Amino acid sequence: MERKTKQKESIINILRQTTSHPDADWIYERVRQEIPNISLGTVYRNLKSLKESGQIQELNSMGEMSHFDGNAEPHYHFRCDCCGRIIDIEGPVDKTIEKRVARKTGFRVTRHSLEVGGLCLDCQRAQNQ
Amino acid sequence: MERKTKQKESIINILRQTTSHPDADWIYERVRQEIPNISLGTVYRNLKSLKESGQIQELNSMGEMSHFDGNAEPHYHFRCDCCGRIIDIEGPVDKTIEKRVARKTGFRVTRHSLEVGGLCLDCQRAQNQ
DNA sequence: TTATTTGCAAATCATTTGCCCGAAG
DNA sequence: CTTCGGGCAAATGATTTGCAAATAA
C-alpha cells in the first residue's frame, strides 16, 4: 500500500520548494502547471496522506483555512495579523514544555505547537505611512 | 452600538459556567433550553461579537471546528488526541516568548498561543486495557 | 491481475449572509 | 422613532466522498 504517483510526487516537490505555507488551492494551481487535468480532490487526498505519513505538516488556526508546510521538522510559526502570511521561526523547539505539562497534569504529552502573532516587517512599514 | 440582548446574555452566561470549551452547536443546544426559538445564526453572530470585544476566546486547530472559551484571560490548552477534549492548563503564560521572537525577527509580536497535545488521563486508562 | 488512486461532480458541514420584522435605546 | 439585533432560510466556501475509469505494483 502507499503507491507512488506523479500527482503525489508533484505535490510534495512543490511543497519542498516553497517556504510560503500555501493553502490547498494555491498548491492546486501550482500542480496544474505540471499536470493540467489534476483535480482539486486529488490534491486534498494527497495532502491528507502526506500529512498522515508525517512528510508534511498542516497548520491552521483561528478560523483560517488550512495551510501546509513542506518542512516536517518541528518548528514554530509567526502569523501576521495584517497580511495573513505565515513565517517559520528559526531556533530550537523547547521540548521541556512537554515535560513540564506532563509532570504537572499527568497527561501523556507527545506534541506541542506554538504560534506567535503580530505584524511582519512589511506590514509595520505599511502602517507607518 | 453594542446592544444588550437576552440572547447574548444567555450565551455568555453559558460560556462562563463551563470549562469544557464547547463548539457552536453545543452552545446552541444549551441556549435553546432558555430561548427555544433562538437560531443558530444568532449564536454564531454573538460568538463573533463576543470574541471581537475580547469577552471570550476562540480556539481552533488542525482542521477541527471552532471551540469557544469563556475564560478570556490568556492561558494554554491541552488537546487530547484520542477524545478531542480541550483542557485548560494552569500556570503562568510566558510573555518572554513574545519578546524573544520580536528581538530575533524584528516583527511586532502581540500575541502567542501554545497548544500541547497527547493523551488525557481517561484516555490513558482506556488504552491500558 | 487486482487493489489503489484518479477525475469528476455531487454532497457535506461549519459558518455567513440577506432580508424583513421586532425590540432596545 | 431609528437603528441594531434576531429569526429564518438560502448562500458560501473549504473539504470530503461516491463512483467508474485509469494505473501502479
Enumerate residues 61 to 120 of chain A having a beta carbon within 8 A of any beta carbon in chain B.
61-63, 66, 76, 78, 80-81, 87, 89-91, 97-98, 101-102, 104-120
> Could you tell me which residues come within 8 angstroms of residue B47 by beta carbon, excluding any fewer than 6 positions away?
B11, B24, B27, B56, B58, B68
Asked if strand C comes closer than 7 Å to A39 Cβ, the answer is yes
Residue A2 has φ and ψ, to the nearest 5°, of: 75, 75
H or E element that contains B38: none
- Each of the 129 residues of chain B gets a pLDDT tens digit; together they read 689 999 999 999 999 999 899 999 999 999 999 999 999 999 999 999 999 999 999 887 666 778 889 898 889 999 998 888 889 998 789 999 999 999 999 999 999 989 999 999 999 999 887
Q: Which amino acid is at A92?
A: P
- CB-based contact, B122 to chain A, within 8 Å: no
Kindly state the average pLDDT of the residues A45-50: 95
Which pLDDT score, from 0 to 100, does residue A24 have? 95
Which of the nucleotides in strand C have any atom less than 7 Å away from a protein CB atom? 3-10, 13-18, 23-25
Q: State the smallest CA–CA distance between residue A51 and chain B in angstroms.
A: 11
- Average pLDDT along chain A: 91
Which pLDDT score, from 0 to 100, does residue B124 have? 95
Chain CA centroid to CA A120, Å: 18
Give the Å distances, CA to CA, from A82 to A96, A117, B59, B105, B117: 32, 10, 19, 16, 28
Looking at A23-37, A71-85, B22-36, B106-120, which range is the least confident one?
Answer: A71-85
Which pLDDT score, from 0 to 100, does residue B61 have? 64
Q: Which amino acid is at A2?
A: E
Which pLDDT score, from 0 to 100, does residue B10 have? 97
**pLDDT surpassing 70 at residue A35:** yes
**pLDDT surpassing 90 at residue A40:** yes
Record: contact B62-A62, CB cut-off 8 A: no
SS3 A8: helix
Say what the pTM is.
0.83
How many other CB atoms are found less than 10 A from the CB of residue B17? 10
SS3 A31: helix
- Confidence band for A61, pLDDT divided at 50, 70 and 90: low
